[in-house]
Structures are given as C-alpha cells and as structure tokens.
C-alpha cells in the first residue's frame, strides 16, 4: 500500500502551481472567520482536493475499503435473520453452521477493511499536510518584509499548525462521510425490501430529526466560528505581549495587559463552552429519537409477528438496522462540526497562499547562478 506515496515530490512547493481559478486579491490576512467564511465551503474542498490529487490511487483504494466495510456492516443483520428464520426455527443445523462461518468471514472483512481505510487515509492526510506546510513555508519566505511587519507572528503560527491540523480532520471525515451515506442508503433499501409497513414506521422520526438539524446547524456554525476567532485573538495578543515584553516592562503595563489578556481568555472560554454545549446537544437528541424508533419497531413489529405477517428474524433485523441507521446520523452530526472548523481553517490557509508577491522576476529572467563575495 505504501507504493502510493513513494513518488511524492520532496519539495512540492517548488513545483506545484496554483489552480487557474484562484483569485489573487488578498494583501493582508483577515482575523475574522465570518468574513472569509462568506465564500462558503466549495472553494476549500476544491483547493484541498487539488492537494490530494497526486494520491488519488490511495484515495481510490481507501474508498473501496469503505465500500467493503459498509457491505460487511449491512450484511450482519441479514445473516442473523437467516439464522433465526431459516436455521433455528426449522432446526437446520447445517444451515446454522454455514451462517456461523459466514458471520466469521464477514467479521474478518469488517476488521480488515476498517484497518485498511484508516491506514491509507491517515497516510494521505499526513502527506497532504506536509505539502501544504511546505507551500506555506515557501510562500512566507517569498513575501516582502512589509508583510512580516504588518502581520502578527501568532496569526501565522496559528495557520501553520492549528489550521493545517484541522484540514487533516476534514480529509479523514470525508471518507467517513462516504461510508455513512452508503450505510444510510443501504439500510433504507433493505428495510423496504424486508417489510414496507415496518420500514415506514422505522423512518417516521426522520422529518423531526431533519427539522432539529436544520435549526441546530446555523446556530452551531456561528458558535464554532466565534470560538475559532476568539482563539486566534488570544494567540495574537499573547504573541504581541511576549515579543513586546521590554516595552511593557518599561511602561509598567503589567496589570493593564494582564486584565486585557484575562478578558480575551474569558471570551474564548465562553465561546468554547457554548460551542461544546451545542455540539453535545445534538447527540442526546439523536439518542432519544433512536429510542423512540426502536420502541415503534418493537410495538408494530411485535404485533405483526403475532399476526403472522412477518417472522421473528425480520423484526430482529429491523431492530438491528434501526440502531445501525442512527449510528451514521450521529457520526454525520459530529463530522459536520469537524467540517465547519476545517472550512474556516482552510479559508485562512489559502488566504495566506494566495497573497500576491510584491517582488517578482521578469518573464524570461536568467538564474543568477552562484554568487561569491
């Protein structure tokens, strides 16, 4: 699997060209995430895919692993249904042994595909981060000295480390999102194949869940952007105080600056607590709706089993699929917060990379060669 990464250029920043549609209109860095977030998500995703494109073979294999992982996850309840309805009720020990072997094979496939996708995505993410950091470092070396005079070092360090790290989460989350959507689609199809009436009952909570999510989403986005902005403000002010410590001591501003810093830290703490509360609010909501769905399936499915409309194994499969249906929803809820942070960070990174150079060589200029003196 590691052959996918052997041909990576050792210095991608020297050879990589920017996409043709990049608008080079920035001359300074914005400290407000809300200002840069107005450009919305698609720009960051396109730019990030551009960096991941040299490793498309590894991404393709990881996607295949996700598909295999999803198929293994979806097949387990069907095998249990077959064991209950086809083997246990009929007393067929041979079929029961076959199902047991099949469950073992599926469990092994589940484990192998999960391990493969995690290894490949982690390696791709770390390699892409190397390329982005190399481009950022080269960009900082090429920018005019006036840029360094106008830009706080803390803001640059936040982009080089914190924001780039958030992009790793976005790449890992993108693969998980593919698996989650495949799982949701597969479960819906299987539920309707098994029993249409019980499938409708199982999915009855979806409108309510979508409504809650639509209300929660914009509130959570603003909260995460505010937390990110306050974090950057704390870093910038801390850098200014450390680099200007001699001036602070000369002017005897220890207490004043301490109070100002305390206020900025309290603002960050408050915004971080609010974002955490909003992030934690959605998961219990999904859990409650999962319990409601399981209760509905148990009542309606139990009555249909007693009336002979469906078999016991079918109801058991429905209960297992409803639980599996809520797992990707919970995952997507968490991944949304991850993507929001990554998108805000991506705008800050590409804003730095897109700053035009004030000093450039003329077209066709000859290399200066070796200089001695």
Q: Write out pLDDT tens, residues 13-32.
A: 444 544 444 444 444 555 44
Averaged confidence pLDDT in the chain: 79
User: Where exactly are the structural domains of the chain?
Assistant: 28-353
> What's residue 162's pLDDT?
72
The domain at 28-353 falls in which architecture? Up-down Bundle (1.20)
Q: Is the pTM of this model over 0.95?
A: no
> Which of 256-260, 300-304, 313-317, 340-344 is predicted least confidently?
340-344
Q: Residues 283, 285, 286, 291: is their CA dihedral positive or negative?
A: positive
Q: What's the pLDDT band for 43 if we cut at 50, 70, 90?
A: confident
What does the pLDDT read at residue 74? 92
The pLDDT, as a whole number, for residue 188 is 92
Specify the pLDDT at position 129: 85
Identify the weakest region by mean pLDDT among 192-206, 299-313, 351-365: 351-365
Least confident piece of the model among 26-40, 214-228, 359-373:
26-40
Give the DSSP per-residue string, 19-70.
Answer: PTT-----SS----HHHHHTT-HHHHHHHHHHHHGGGHHHHHHHHHHHHHHH
pLDDT of residue 29: 54
Instruction: Determine the Cα–Cα distance for residues 233 and 154; give it in Å rounded to an integer.
Output: 9
Mean pLDDT of 75-89: 88
Confidence of residue 64 (pLDDT cuts 50, 70, 90): very high
Residue 48's pLDDT band (cuts 50, 70, 90): confident
Q: Could you tell me where the DSSP H helices lie in the chain?
A: 12-15, 33-37, 41-52, 56-82, 93-142, 145-150, 153-157, 164-194, 196-202, 206-243, 245-251, 254-306, 312-353
């Amino acid at each position: 699997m590691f052959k996918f990464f052997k041909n990576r250029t050792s210095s991608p920043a020297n050879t990589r060209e920017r996409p043709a549609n990049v608008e080079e209109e920035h001359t300074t860095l914005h400290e407000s995430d809300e200002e840069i977030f107005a450009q919305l998500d698609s720009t960051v995703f396109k730019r990030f895919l551009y960096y991941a494109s040299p490793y498309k073979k590894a991404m393709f294999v990881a996607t295949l692993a996700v598909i295999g992982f999803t198929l293994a996850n979806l097949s387990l309840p069907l095998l249990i249904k077959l064991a209950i309805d086809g083997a246990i009720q009929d007393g067929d020990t041979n079929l029961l042994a076959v199902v047991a072997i099949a469950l073992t094979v599926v469990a092994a496939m589940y484990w192998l595909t999960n391990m493969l996708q995690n290894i490949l995505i982690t390696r791709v993410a770390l390699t892409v981060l190397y390329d982005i950091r190399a481009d950022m470092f080269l960009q900082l070396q090429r920018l005019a000295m006036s840029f360094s005079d106008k830009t706080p070092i803390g803001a640059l360090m936040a982009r080089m480390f914190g924001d780039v790290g958030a992009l790793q989460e976005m790449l890992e989350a993108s693969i998980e999102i593919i698996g989650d959507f495949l799982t949701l689609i597969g479960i819906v199809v299987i539920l309707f194949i098994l029993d249409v009436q019980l499938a409708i009952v199982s999915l009855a909570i979806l409108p309510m869940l979508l409504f809650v999510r639509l209300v929660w989403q914009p509130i959570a986005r603003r909260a995460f952007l505010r937390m990110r902005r306050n974090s950057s403000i704390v870093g910038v002010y801390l850098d200014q105080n450390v680099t200007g410590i001699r001036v602070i001591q000369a002017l005897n501003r220890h207490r004043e600056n301490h109070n100002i810093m305390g206020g900025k830290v309290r603002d960050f703490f408050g915004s971080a607590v609010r974002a955490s509360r909003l992030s934690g609010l959605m998961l219990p909501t999904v859990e409650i709706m999962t319990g409601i769905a399981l209760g509905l399936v148990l009542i309606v499915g139990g009555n249909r089993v007693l009336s002979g409309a469906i078999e016991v194994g079918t109801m058991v499969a429905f209960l297992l699929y409803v639980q599996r249906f809520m797992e990707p929803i919970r995952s997507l809820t968490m991944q949304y917060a991850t993507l929001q942070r990554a998108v805000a960070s991506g705008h800050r990174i590409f804003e730095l990379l897109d700053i035009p150079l004030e000093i450039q060589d003329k077209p066709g200029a000859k290399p200066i060669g070796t200089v001695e003196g």
